Amino acid sequence: MTATITRRRVHKISDKKDFDKYDLYRRSVQSPDTDVCFLRKVYRDLKKKDPRIFREDFCGTFALSCEWVRLSPKFQAIGVDLDPEPLEYGRSHNLSKLSEKQQQRIQLFEGNVLAEKLASADISVAMNFSYFIFQNRKIMKEYFLNVLRSVKKDGIFVIDIFGGSLCHDENEEKASHRKFTYYWQQENFDPVTNRAKFHIHYRLHGQAKKERVFSYDWRMWTIPELREILEEVGFKRTHVYWEGTTRKGEGDGVFTRTEKGEACQAWIAYIVAEK
């Protein structure tokens, strides 16, 4: 199976000519509407009831939180990020599109997911591999422990992860959208530390390519390493949701619980930890 690292969605393209990096990011790498449905389904499958409170760590423009409160008038969302810039963008571009009642069910915290006493939630998530920023076991353990303390008694913690042989090499993939091209570049990979640098570039059609609009210095974690740390800090059980394959051998976007993966050049999976 060759799943692409990018979860592409087709969104309505606005006619705006300005370079809006958060808008491009959302169109090229996020699919918050389908993500929240998947997360709700995972919780229901494991807990046989509906979740209510959702916490999005590393929330950036908190697109998932906005979709979460759209799902039900009972649902509440909490976003945590240390950078005021994406939070402000989210307030003016995402929050503003919600009804007043939906807006009232979102709380935002500008702070560090390591330092803060995190708000209590039924589902807590760290998406788009943001937690790869933590480069050693000690810090990852601190973060997972902080999450465990915050998750409700019946709560779950969900993270996504990517890997595959492509991630052990320098490479660049691109995807054409109606008004722009998205580039995902892996600059390097160090097998001694498992660290890798990645960049997102964009080219609006008819304009010059803008390099390094977003850059990441990440450790490439593995599924077993993360499951071990999650269980070590006290999560009762962990599960892996692996993506199915189309006839062409590509990822089909359907993730199911399994204890057996498949070697491929690029894959995405979810790890779900139960308190």
Q: Which residues bind ligand SAM (CB under 6 A)?
A: 30, 58-60, 80-83, 86, 112-114, 127-128, 130, 133
Q: Minimal distance in Å, beta carbon 81 to ligand SAM?
A: 4
The interaxial angle of helices 137-150 and 223-233, nearest 10 deg, is 50
Q: How far is the CB of 233 from ligand SAM (least distance, A)?
A: 17
- Quick count: other Cβ atoms within 10 Å of Cβ 63? 25
CA distances from 45 to 135, 254, 272 (A): 32, 15, 12
Residue nearest to ligand SAM (CB): 60
Best CA proximity match to 242, nearest among 267, 220, 211, 209? 267
Q: Which is nearer to ligand SAM, 213 or 223 (CB)?
A: 213
Least separation in angstroms between CB 82 and ligand SAM: 4
Check: CB of residue 60 under 8 Å from CB of residue 68: no
Q: Which is nearer to ligand SAM, 1 or 89 (CB)?
A: 89
Considering the complex, state which of residue 83 and residue 211 has its C-beta at the smaller distance from ligand SAM.
83
User: Smallest distance from the beta carbon of 9 to ligand SAM, in angstroms?
Assistant: 13
Instruction: Report, in Å, the least distance between residue 27 CB and ligand SAM.
Output: 12
Residue 189 or 216 having the CB closest to ligand SAM: 216
Closest to ligand SAM by CB, 36 vs 127, is 127
Residue where the block lists tokens 């810090």: 139
